[in-house]
Structure 1
Amino acid sequence: MPTWKLFPIPMQGQSTVEVESLPSYLLRSAYAHGASGGVLLQVIHELGGCSQKTRPRCIAGKHGIATLARVNQFTRELRDRLAEFTGHDMSCEPLRFLDSQVYCISTEIGTFRWCPECLAEMARIDAPLYFKQLWHMTAVGHCPVHRVRLSECCEFCGSKQHSLKAKHPVGYCAECGEPLFNRRTPLSTKDIQPSWECPSHDVLEIFEKAARPGMTVSGWLEARSFIHSMAVSADHGRRNSHITGELRELLYECRRNWRDNCRLISLRRLAYLMNMSLYDLLTCSSTAYPLPYSAPELKSLPEHLRRRKKTVRNHKYVYQKLVLYLEGQQIPPSLKQAARFAQVSPGYLEYRFPSLVRRIVECYQAYRSQTALVNRYRAQAAALKFFTKERYADHIQSRKEAYRVLKEETGLPKWVLKNAIQTAYRVLQVGAG
């Protein structure tokens, strides 16, 4: 009888389009073992798991969840060790296929997102709640089953699911513990995407076909050979002379950058203009699609595939503009306020001007701390005056009345004022006793 080193928990949705993601399985296993995800990873390492060279420096927060959901040497070794320690298959065929066919597919994989309706159905039939690998794909914005937008944060506390502490089961908020499948406001018809609008249908098809058991796919060399042949025949002008414009440019771009920089978005554009599915483009061979290939006249790309123009900024001008703005402000602005004034994003400022951003954040935090301290002093002074000065003798000497009167007079934040009143009330009670 085999003895497993970890609980033999099976991965959900294996060999289907709804295959579970690795960080979801890690959290489910950690909760079952009564430990956090970080502790479970450490145990796996001590049992002879992943090598120290491939282990990331930090597996925490948003970046850590995304790292576990992606394809890298660490996750490959982790899947192998989990399969060895549990006796269950931990592979994810759609991810393996995309990694072998597309350059740098990890850039298309993000952190936890979920469909509340899918989780509600799992809970209704008492099935284990889990996050699907498909929900990590940035190209997928809506659930392919329920047509609703994928959620990114808890509707009750607003927190995103970036924690590996495993305080609550998967499917429940990592912070407040509320079910992620409960909605505060019911769905309306405008929240449901029409069935004819599916910008990610090509990615869904890859998950559907590549996940099938025993599915064999051709290597990326054959797809590259097909694209190369198309580009060469179009270049000669004798065959496929109809390949012009954006399709011709995409063929050259994919042929030139196939090994080093041919990303998923370029392949999606090419497949659309050639009237092929993305899966067929990546698995085609010269026997499946004999050349010359007659592509239809698709001259424009849909909105979700169009190229976005890069914004060209004068970095020196933006920096000088921000410095003048900061010097002219009596109250230190927050980073968001400074970015809004410069008409850029906070991420742009953090990338281009890290020292300036550090100064903005430090000044703003110091101002907030000083303001909070002044408010506490004002609240304490006002509370003591209410219970000791004659001008308030006509009022009922209660904490409720003190809050009502002082709220109108001072306008201080609610809990700052309430805490000061409570402190003053207790001190005066002790003095009177």
Structure 2
Amino acid sequence: MSTFLLPVPPEGAGTSDVEALDSYLDRLAAAHGIALSSFCRLLDDWWEHDKPVGEASLGRYIGHIPKCGFGRDIEQLVKVLETGTGFRGLASMTLLAFKEVSGRHVGEVLRHVHHWCPACMQEWEQGGAPAYEKLLWRLKPISRCPTHRIRLENQCPHCGGGQTRRGDHPWFRCSQCFKPLCNDSSRWTISLTAAPGEKDLIDVLAFCATNPSYVFRRDSPHRFFHAIKHELDGKRLANSAGDYFHKRDIPTRKLVGSLLRIAQRFQTPLTDLLVDPRQAAAARPLNGMEPKPLNLHPANKAHDHLVRERVRQELEVALQQGPEGKSLAQICREAGVCKSSPSRWFPSIVASLVKHQTELRDRQRELDLARLAAITLEDLLTPEMQAIGWHKLPHFVARQWSVSIYIARKRVSVLRRTAHPVVTRSSRKTKPR
């Protein structure tokens, strides 16, 4: 298949400063002299007409979603752009390398608003180079430019407006006043401290830029933890290892942010952990890496007879006090025991308390419903109630009549349907043809 798009090369290819795929699409659309929405339709029409047999279509909403993450739509878009432009390695402009090892949700690390380095933009403007949005700027853990050590900005230096994503608007101009986002160097903020995960993400993007077709294996973190399992206690790694120690047929997938925290916890480069987990486990430093012991769960604590006796007394007092008595959860929380422990120690008392408090709650709910049944539609149509608004009426009724919010919400909903009946399909009048 011959290329049909103009040969616009991606900026920063082969380096960690690689261009984001969203920015590349914007520049492609500008090179063809059309808006981004029109360019996406053009791309879709061309692919549907000339695609090889058996190839999938472009995603239906490809022009309305962020394109720096990973997924089937993004993967197919990269394939179409590589075919249309003749350039290879466009997968490095996204996070497609994480598609097997990480969960589909990338909102934890992917920004949905514009951030940029003013020093980079000034250099491009002075040198006449094309302005583009780096993939690094799209990632939340990156809060500064790794080249200039300047904090990334997200507000227009002229009007102070926040920058949102608009499909047919160039990102390097303000989305409100349309002025260039480059500002004076006197307003730049120097940041000498790297944010957690910054170096790991930069190394990962540099690795993906030089190996654009590489996809991290799904079981890489699992193999890493399996290699260090004999050195560290698995129970004490529960807060960072989590599901990796559970036996499953298919290893679980962590979010990208979780993978960054795991790499930071064990002082292991994330790239090494994902590419060669066994070597990363063997090369990691052991001095000072023993995780802090976690507090035991209340269910695993050994309680003496004094604690049990105090819990028994609290249960008996709560059983006699009625509605004002403490709940089982409150008693366990104050005594520092697990909720299931009193059920093992005093099964008859706990069963009686739960049954008694359930009956009291049911009785109180019936009384509250009977009280709220006296509220009529005219009571809610007063000027005072109208000023509050239907969406705040349940909270007002709950406070006024001292009832639970869900009971007040149910009653207000019934009265609202009375005031504004729902038009069903059967109640509609058929229009004459």
TM over 0.5: yes
How many angstroms does 1:19 deviate by? 0.8
Write out per-residue CA displacement over residues 150-205 of structure 1, whole angstroms, 9 at most, x where no aligned residue: 22243334152411214xx552234433111225x8326xx221146665222222
Contact 1:254-1:267 at 8 Å conserved across structures: no
Contact 1:28-1:170 at 8 Å conserved across structures: no
How many angstroms does 1:265 deviate by? 2.8
Contact 2:197-2:264 at 8 Å conserved across structures: no
2:222 maps to what in 1?
224
Distance 1:130 1:331, change over 3 A: farther
For 1:244 and 1:203, the matched residues in 2 are separated by: 29
- Tell me which moved more, 96-105 or 252-261: 252-261
1:178 maps to what in 2?
179
Contact 2:157-2:182 at 8 Å conserved across structures: no
For 2:36 and 2:275, the matched residues in 1 are separated by: 37
Contact 2:197-2:260 at 8 Å conserved across structures: no
Q: Which runs of 5+ in 1 are unaligned?
A: 234-239, 301-323, 336-352, 360-433
Distance 1:126 1:221, change over 3 A: same
2:147 maps to what in 1?
145
Matched, 1:86 2:85: yes
How many angstroms does 1:261 deviate by? 4.5
CA RMSD of aligned residues (A): 4.2
Contact 2:263-2:273 at 8 Å conserved across structures: yes
How many angstroms does 1:215 deviate by? 9.3
2:167 maps to what in 1?
164
Matched, 1:20 2:13: no
1:113 maps to what in 2?
115
Contact 1:271-1:281 at 8 Å conserved across structures: yes
1:127 maps to what in 2?
129
**Letter matched to residue 262 of structure 1:** K
**Letter matched to residue 282 of structure 1:** L
Partner secondary structure for residue 203 of structure 2: helix
For 2:77 and 2:133, the matched residues in 1 are separated by: 18
Matched, 1:42 2:41: yes
How many angstroms does 1:36 deviate by? 0.8
For 2:120 and 2:95, the matched residues in 1 are separated by: 21
Write out per-residue CA displacement over residues 361-384 of structure 1, whole angstroms, 9 at most, x where no aligned residue: xxxxxxxxxxxxxxxxxxxxxxxx
Distance 1:159 1:217, change over 3 A: closer
TM-score (norm 2): 0.58
Partner secondary structure for residue 178 of structure 2: coil
For 1:262 and 1:192, the matched residues in 2 are separated by: 33
1:267 maps to what in 2?
259
* Corresponding residue pairs, total: 301
For 1:221 and 1:113, the matched residues in 2 are separated by: 33
Question: If each structure's helix is expressed as a fraction of its own residues, which one has the higher value?
Answer: 1
How many angstroms does 1:99 deviate by? 2.7
For 1:212 and 1:58, the matched residues in 2 are separated by: 26
For 1:34 and 1:291, the matched residues in 2 are separated by: 52
1:96 maps to what in 2?
96
**Letter matched to residue 88 of structure 1:** F
How many angstroms does 1:75 deviate by? 1.9
**Letter matched to residue 178 of structure 1:** K
Distance 1:42 1:215, change over 3 A: closer
**Letter matched to residue 16 of structure 2:** V
2:406 maps to what in 1?
none
How many angstroms does 1:128 deviate by? 0.9
1:347 maps to what in 2?
none
Contact 1:217-1:283 at 8 Å conserved across structures: no
Q: Which runs of 5+ in 2 are unaligned?
A: 294-379, 392-408, 417-433
Contact 2:3-2:84 at 8 Å conserved across structures: yes
Match of 1:277 among 269, 274, 283: 269
